[in-house]
Amino acid sequence: MRILVTGKNGQLGQSINKLINIETKIENNPSSNEFIFVGREELDLSNNSSIINYFDNHDKFDIVINSAAYTAVDQAEEEQNLTNQVNHLAVKQLAEIAKEQKAKLIHISTDYVFDGESDKPYIETDKTNPINVYGKTKLAGEKALQAIMSTNAIIIRTSWLYSEYGNNFVSTMLMLGKERDELNVVNDQIGSPTYATDLAGAILEIIKSKEFREENQATQFYHYSNEGEISWYEFTKEIFKIAKIDCKVIPITTRQYPTPAQRPKNTLMNKAKIAKTFSVGISDWKESLNTCVSILRKNK
């Protein structure tokens, strides 16, 4: 199988690559799958003709995993056209190409398609109502994909993604915690963090499953995050505890920390569907955070 992964320099792209390298070493290769990782140098999602050119000049793929996205939530408020191009129009184009090539498409979306006003964890069929540009463009991408591929695609919504790669909440807090004596962190936005390696593992499990490989199945949504229910304040406290950083964390409200993009208040997601369909394990958030922080400290 030829499997294309977009966003090779992103958190999820690098995490998928890491797991494939580990699997290849353990099994002493012979995976029948050929993974091709591309970044914006090879396949620029902000440019229609770059997308066409890339697929015109490469053999067909069996699976496309779209882990690339415009993810700068605050900047998106300023760069609406670019955000829409990458998160919506490029997804539409990828879906058209995947359909034409008879490839399966695994697309990653976000908890920010919800408005965060629910008092229980969101299930896949709950009403969407994004409250910022990033969420609106990701929702438009989901809808465009669904309209083109009523079969052979899956959309995985995830939340609060972090990893040992690039800048993310965990790496930023580790840096700030060492520089400062105290830190104000928002305590009234609730969600579940997701270690990108766990999500990458779930995607690789899905690809191997017979449920996924069956042809012409209806396109499905799945929710995936780690297990747990916390605020950014609680997340920060745990990061410092694990890393033994002595920095006082002060809980504040969203109102006290205004940002260009509005954030949903409570985006907990119910993961029962993905766990049941693909027998995917859902790790506890603290366990995964421990793993990531120890890798980050070793890499220092």
Binding residues for ligand NAP (CB under 6 A): 7, 9-13, 39-40, 43-46, 67-71, 86, 108, 110-111, 138, 158-161, 166
Contacting residues for 163 by C-beta, under 8 A, at least 6 apart: 11, 12, 14, 15, 170, 195, 196, 197, 292
Beta strands in the chain (DSSP E): 2-6, 34-38, 63-66, 104-110, 153-158, 161-162, 182-186, 190-191, 194-195, 220-224, 230-231, 248-252
Closest distance between ligand NAP and the C-beta of residue 129, in Å? Answer: 16
Closest distance between ligand NAP and the C-beta of residue 36, in Å? Answer: 14
Closest distance between ligand NAP and the C-beta of residue 196, in Å? Answer: 6
234-241: Cβ within 8 A, 24+ apart: 234/187, 235/160, 235/169, 235/173, 235/185, 235/193, 235/289, 236/173, 236/177, 236/183, 236/185, 238/286, 238/289, 239/170, 239/173, 239/174, 239/177, 239/289, 239/293, 240/173, 240/177
Closest distance between ligand NAP and the C-beta of residue 90, in Å? Answer: 7
Which C-beta is closer to ligand NAP: that of 18 or that of 40? 40
Which C-beta is closer to ligand NAP: that of 170 or that of 183? 170
Closest distance between ligand NAP and the C-beta of residue 210, in Å? Answer: 26
- Please report how many Cα atoms fall inside a 13 Å half-sphere around the Cα of residue 107, on the Cβ side: 32
Q: Determine which one of 134, 162, 165, 222 is catalytic.
A: 134
Is 134 a known active-site residue?
yes
CB 193 within 8 A of CB 154: no
Which C-beta is closer to ligand NAP: that of 187 or that of 225? 225
Which C-beta is closer to ligand NAP: that of 36 or that of 213? 36
Which C-beta is closer to ligand NAP: that of 50 or that of 213? 50
**SS3 assignment, position 270:** coil
Q: Which sequence positions are flagged as catalytic?
A: 134
